[in-house]
């Protein structure tokens, strides 16, 4: 079994991106790449919903087969430290 490092394996440097979600819409102009449109901003938080549906081809992009909620960020990075906080909401049975 490998040993657990005593020091962090990465060091933080300059902040490339941050978002407080204090607005009405997510938007690509804010750096987000919405892959499956199941996200909304609600009370200063990013809320993602798990939905399984197919998205037809649009704007020159191929169709997306229904899968888990996906969102990305268009900020180019390499060897990055990514830090975020999340909370799992109520699960539907």
Task: Supply the range of the domain harboring residue 48.
Answer: 28-73
Cα gap 41→64, rounded to integer Å: 23
Cα–Cα distance for residue pair 86/93, rounded to 1 Å: 21
Answer yes or no: are the C-beta atoms of 50 and 68 closer than 8 Å.
yes
The model's pLDDT over 16-74, given as tens digits with 9 standing for 90+, comes to: 888 888 888 887 777 787 776 778 888 888 888 776 777 788 888 888 777 677 788 87
* Consecutive H or E run containing 24: none
User: What is the reported pLDDT for 42?
Assistant: 86
Number of domains in the chain: 1
Task: Determine, yes or no, domain membership for 53.
Answer: yes
Residue 78 lies in a domain: no
Q: Note whether residue 57 is domain-resident.
A: yes
**Could you tell me the sign of the dihedral formed by the alpha carbons of 45, 51, 54, 56, in that order?**
negative
pLDDT attached to residue 90 = 65
DSSP H stretches of helix in 1-93? none
Judge whether 40 lies within some domain: yes
Answer yes or no: is pLDDT of 75 > 70: yes
Query: pTM for this one?
Result: 0.58
Per the domain annotation, does 10 fall within a domain? no
- Residue 17 counted as domain residue: no
């Amino acid at each position: 079994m490998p040993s657990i490092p005593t020091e962090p394996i990465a060091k933080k440097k300059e902040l490339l991106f941050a978002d407080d979600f204090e607005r009405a819409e997510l938007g690509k102009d804010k750096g987000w790449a919405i892959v499956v449109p199941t996200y909304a901003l609600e009370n200063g938080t990013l809320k993602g919903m798990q939905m399984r549906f197919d998205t037809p081809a649009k704007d020159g992009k191929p169709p997306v087969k229904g899968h888990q909620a996906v969102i990305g960020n268009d900020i180019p990075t390499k060897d990055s430290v990514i830090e975020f906080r999340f909370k799992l909401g109520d699960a539907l049975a």
